[in-house]
Structure 1
Amino acid sequence: MSPLVREPQQQRSREKFARILSTTAGLLETVPFEQLSTKQIAAEAGMSVGALYRFFPDKEAVLETLEHSWMEGDLRLLAACTAPEEVAACTSSEQFLARVVEAYADRFRTLPGYRHVWFHVAKVPALAGMGDEVDRRIAERVHEVLVESFGLADTAETRRRAGLAVVLATRMLGMAFLHDPQGDPDVLADAPLILDRYFFAPPRRPAAD
C-alpha cells in the first residue's frame, strides 16, 4: 500500500475508508478510470472531497489500495480452496485444479470493478513485487497439494512447472473473461485439463550434447 495513504485507526474512520474503496470499485463498473475523479468518488460515497483527502492524496492511491486489498484476498482465497477438507473432497488432481480455477474465476464475476481494472487499467508499479509474491505463493501451495494428495513427483522440474502453470492459468482466465463477464465456459473447462496434463507430463529428457 502506498506510504501516502493514511490508514485509519478509529472505527468511524475505518468505515469511511472502506466506503471510499467500495464506492470506487462500484464506479469502475461503468466509469473508465481515466475519467474518474476524486470529486465523483467522494460525492458517490456521501462525503466531501476533503474527507477523502484525509485518507488518500489522489485517485491513484485509491486504486493502489483497492488492488492491494484484492491481492490480499487472493491469498485468503488460496488458503480456503486448498484447505484439507476442500482437497479431500476432490477425487482427482484435475478436479482439484478445476476448483482452484473456478474460485479465482469467480472474482471476475463477483468483485465490483475487478474485471474492468484487469483489462483496462495499467498495472500499479508499486504493487509489482506483491503481485509476484502472490503468484509465487499460489504456485508453491498448489504444487504442495498436488505432491501430498495426488502423487505428483516433488522435483525441481515440477516446481518450475508450478510457477509457469500460474502464468498459464492467469492467461487463460484473461481469455475467458475478455468478452464474457461470466467467463467463456469452454476456456474455463479446458484450463484445469491443460494444467493437469502439464503438471503430470513425463519429465523432459536431457538435451543431447
Structure 2
Amino acid sequence: MPEPAALPALPGALRTPQQARSREKVARILAATARLLEELPPDELGTKLIAAEAGVSIGVLYRFFPDKQAIIVALAADWLEQFVSIAEQAVADPLPADPAELTGRLLDAHAGFRREQPGFQRLWYGSMPWAALREEDERNDRELAELIRGALVRGYGYPDTPEFGRRTHLAVKAAGQLLNLAFEQDPQGDPGILAELRLMLERWVLGRSVTQG
C-alpha cells in the first residue's frame, strides 16, 4: 500500500484526498479491503465490513467511495500500478546480458508480489466481475507490454515493429492468465506452471527466428 503522504488519484474514488488525515483514512480503507480479500471473495465484502476493518465510520468511507465496487477498483488500480513499478525497475539500465534473464527477472518479481498480496488473486479468479476492473487490467497490460517491448528493442536489437509490439502485448496477457492459474493451484505459485510460463516466454517472445518473421 502507498504511504498516506503519497497516495495517488484513485479510479472509482469520489474525490482525491488532499489533507494528510484524509489520505491516511483512504489508505486504511484500501489496506483493510486487501486484508479482507485474503479471506473473502469480492461478492462477500460490504462497506460496513470494510469500514469496521479499517477502523473508520461508514460516513467517512462514503465521503470518498460510493460503494464497495469503487473501493475494490481503487485497490486493484493501486496493485496494478505496483506491477508497473516492478517492471520499470526490472527493465532499467543496465540490462542483463541475456534477454531470458530479463524476462525471468520480471516473472520472479511479479510472482513475488502475488505471494505478498494474496488478496490480489481473488479479484482474478474466474472472470473479472466489473467492467472497471477489466479496463484497469487492460490499461496495465498495455503499459507492461510497452515497457518490455522497449527494453527488448533497446537492449537486444529486437525489431521495433507493430508485429513485435503485438507479440509482447499478447505475451503479457497470456502470462497474466497463466500466473492466475499458477496461484489458483498453489498459494505460492505452482512451480510446474511457472516453469512452463518461463519456457513459453523464452521460446515465443525471445525466439529470434519467430520474432523477426
Same fold (TM over 0.5): yes
2:159 and 2:212 in contact (8 A); partners too: no
Letter in 1 for 2:134: A
**2:40 matched to which residue of 1?**
31
- Whole-Å separation in 2 of the counterparts to 1:50 and 1:196: 51
User: Out of 10, 20, 24, which is 2:29 matched to?
Assistant: 20
1:188 positional shift = 1.4
Which 4+ residue blocks in structure 1 deviate beyond 6 angstroms?
A: none
Q: 1:15 to 1:35 in 2, by over 3 A?
A: same
The answer to whether structure 1 residue 179 and structure 2 residue 181 are counterparts is: no
Q: 1:201 to 1:14 in 2, by over 3 A?
A: same
Q: Secondary structure at the match of 1:152?
A: coil
- Whole-Å separation in 2 of the counterparts to 1:180 and 1:75: 24
**What's the TM-score once normalised by structure 2's chain length?**
0.85
Mapping for residues 41-80 of structure 1, pairs under 5 Å: 41-80=50-89
2:114 and 2:120 in contact (8 A); partners too: yes
Higher relative contact order (CA 8 A, sep 6+): 1
Q: Secondary structure at the match of 2:39?
A: coil
Post-superposition CA distance 1:10-30 (Å, at most 9, x none): 101110110000001101111
**2:153 matched to which residue of 1?**
147
Aligned length: 202
**1:202 matched to which residue of 2?**
209
CA RMSD in angstroms, aligned pairs only: 2.2
Letter in 2 for 1:167: K
- Whole-Å separation in 2 of the counterparts to 1:131 and 1:102: 20
Post-superposition CA distance 1:33-73 (Å, at most 9, x none): 22222111111111221121111121111111111112222
Letter in 1 for 2:14: V
The answer to whether structure 1 residue 97 and structure 2 residue 95 are counterparts is: no
Unaligned 5+ segments in structure 2 are 1-10
**What's the TM-score once normalised by structure 1's chain length?**
0.86
Asked which structure has the greater CA Rg, the reply is 1
1:112 positional shift = 4.5
Unaligned 5+ segments in structure 1 are none
